[in-house]
Amino acid sequence: MNKRLYLLAGAVSLLTILSIGTVVYLQGDFYPLTRQTSIPTSKTIQIELSENGAKSSSEDVQIAEDAVIITKAGQYDISGQAPNLTIQVVDTVSDEVILRLNNASFASLEFRSSGSNIVYLEQDSSNSLTGGEVGISATNVTVKGEGNLTISEVSRYGILTTDDLNVESGNLNIVSAGSGLYAFHETNADHGNLTINGGNITISSSQQEGAALFAGNQLTINNGTVTVEVAYEAYVGKNLTINGGTTNVATVANGLVARDPFIQEGQTSEASIAIVGGTNTITAGNSPLLANGSISLAGGVNTFLTSLPDQPVFNYTAQAEITGGTLIALGISNVTSAHQNVLLGSLIGNAGDTVTITDTVGNEIATYISPVAFTAITYSSEALTEGEVYNLSTSSGNIAQATATKDNIVAPQ
């Protein structure tokens, strides 16, 4: 009798569990035991490079004397060295192509494909593209991974796209006789967007013309570290936005430039520079910030320097405003409006001088070692108190005073 009761109780329990499971499943919160817990990955095709050329067992890879031609979407692992070889993805490919660079060295890479194009740098790998007119050319491309890529001895562009160019991660070192990262569509003003979301990027580009980073439309820095060791201009875009990351650039001419390449004569330019965050150091031969439109400084830690003391730090055609962040600018500095207190002072200093700002009781507000000579200083931060007088001094013995204000922001003469 007891045995029958146990069997009956077990059957009832099982039915209850199944009933509850059915209800939950119908509500969308139950997953059957056969549900896959991992997403299957596509097969990776191997491409091996050598001084004798290249080899691959896949029929989707064609080997020519000076080129490897990829004819189908998918994932490809590239390794080895073939200094004079170009890798191409044909224009009939419209789905995602992932090229995984795994200690690969060759001349150049061409994505003619219209789908998503990804260059993935395998972790700790060292990869190089050398000697071509363009290191990577593409309709669109995203660079990611935790490896290293050096693009050198290119005559025109490090990476060139006609649509979007994104850097998510990785270590990029570009040496170009022209420009570094370049996104531009000749006829479509909405294309040509360049976005940096991470990674470490170092660029040396032409001192005659061109830019280290250029976008025909939107140029956005969200994160990562960008170092421009030398360039004619550093960042150029119609609308240039810095939300975060670290920018450290040095230029022959201007630093950050807002310029609309599609503007017609007689039209009013709506180009803009907006700095919202990040740590940004701009050392320019002319103006650190130049906008054929407006400039907005809303956040970040910002140091703007000009090598020519008579050049304006903010150079614009519409307006320039300070609403937040920290700013130290050495050079003539005009803004049209400020919602945060600003110090404007006439202070002469030499390259190598330490600039110190203190309040009237000697509390240090800021200090900075200047790599350039200067005749004026602008400082702004939330630490300033409106109407209070501050002392400005250099280690070479020059002194001045300035009053914190949000009004009458006119550069000292």
Q: For residue 77, give the nearest of 39, 114, 33, 41 by alpha carbon.
A: 41
DSSP strands (E only) in 26-156: 44-50, 53-55, 61-63, 67-70, 74-89, 97-111, 117-121, 126-130, 134-138, 141-145, 148-154
With 0-12 / 13-18 / 19 or more C-beta atoms within 10 angstroms meaning exposed / middle / buried, residue 336 is middle
| AA letter at 175 | V
Q: Given this model, what pLDDT does residue 333 score?
A: 81
The tokens for 101 are: 């660079």
The list of the chain residues with pLDDT below 50 reads 1-41, 411-413
Q: Given this model, what pLDDT does residue 7 score?
A: 38
How far is the C-alpha of 223 from the C-alpha of 280, rounded, in Å?
12
| AA letter at 252 | V
How far is the C-alpha of 75 from the C-alpha of 354, rounded, in Å?
54
Element (H, E) at 4: helix 2-27
**β-pair type (256-258, 233-242):** parallel
| AA letter at 281 | T
Q: Given this model, what pLDDT does residue 384 score?
A: 96
Q: Given this model, what pLDDT does residue 5 score?
A: 39
Q: For residue 288, give the nearest of 265, 260, 259, 308 by alpha carbon.
A: 308
Residue whose pair of structure tokens reads 């008579």 in the numeric block:
310
127: how many CB neighbours lie within 10 A of its CB?
24
The answer to whether residues 328 and 378 touch, using CB atoms and an 8 Å cutoff, is yes
Q: Given this model, what pLDDT does residue 12 score?
A: 38
Q: Given this model, what pLDDT does residue 408 score?
A: 60
Q: Given this model, what pLDDT does residue 42 score?
A: 62
The answer to whether residues 298 and 337 touch, using CB atoms and an 8 Å cutoff, is no
**β-pair type (399-403, 389-394):** antiparallel
Q: Given this model, what pLDDT does residue 11 score?
A: 42
